[in-house]
Amino acid sequence: MIFFESKENKELIRAIQFILGYKTKKPELFKLALLHKSIKSDESNERLEFLGDAILGLIVAKHLFKLYPFKDEGFLTKIRSKIVSRDSLNDVGRKMGLKKLINVKRFKSKSYDSIYGDALEALIGACYLEKGFDFCEKNVIKNIILPYFDLEKLTTQTHNFKSKILEWAQKEKISINFIVEKTSKSSRLSEFKSILKIDGKNVSTGYGKSKKNAEKDASRIACEKLQLG
């Protein structure tokens, strides 16, 4: 009996090969990694995300430990945090085209502040389950860390957008405030919207699973608009 891959599976296998550098033999596992909780209440990528988060953290820690043999713990922790931060992983996920792959009930670019990063971590978790740690480590470094992260730039890059916008406002003697409100009635899919006002004028709107993340998102957009490097 000849087994034929479905068109959907073939496309997914090609996508995983682009993201992680190999042809998976377990497309169903990766379908689960791309299944957002808004589709099913009893099955989603959250467990794989949990696993992938831990695996990615270890991979990055090992890589930095070898790359910077004379740097102290504080330096290594700072760089690792920048790599595995939600902003960084979301950015990588967008660049990889995960928006076209994630199975989500409704997809508004700012509705879920961590959907890309969550899915990317879930994919790493799936890779680990299929191929083991050593293989996963090698492919994550080769296909994710090295192509998408400028480690030298990260040593000086600032990711605290809220601090940046507040410091700018103080320096310019400009009033700034955040208006945060809950936008989802579902406790399971709680979302918040934050409107950043400068001198009483709306400058940006951010979204997040928490008030803090919504303010961070609004600050990031404001920094981009104001070209605060």
Is-catalytic flag, 53?
Answer: yes
* Catalytic residue, candidates 53, 118, 191, 217: 53
Is-catalytic flag, 121?
Answer: yes
Q: DSSP letters along 1-69, please?
A: ------HHHHHHHHHHHHHHSS--S-HHHHHHHTB-TTT-SS--SHHHHHHHHHHHHHHHHHHHHHH-T
Token pair recorded at residue 193: 């919207």
Give the torsion sign (CA, 48, 54, 58, 60): positive
* Catalytic residue, candidates 87, 113, 121, 137: 121
Cα→Cα distances 205→33, 44, 58, 209, 227, Å:
29, 28, 34, 14, 16
Distance between CA atoms of 43 and 35, rounded to whole angstroms?
8
Q: Which residues are catalytic?
A: 53, 121
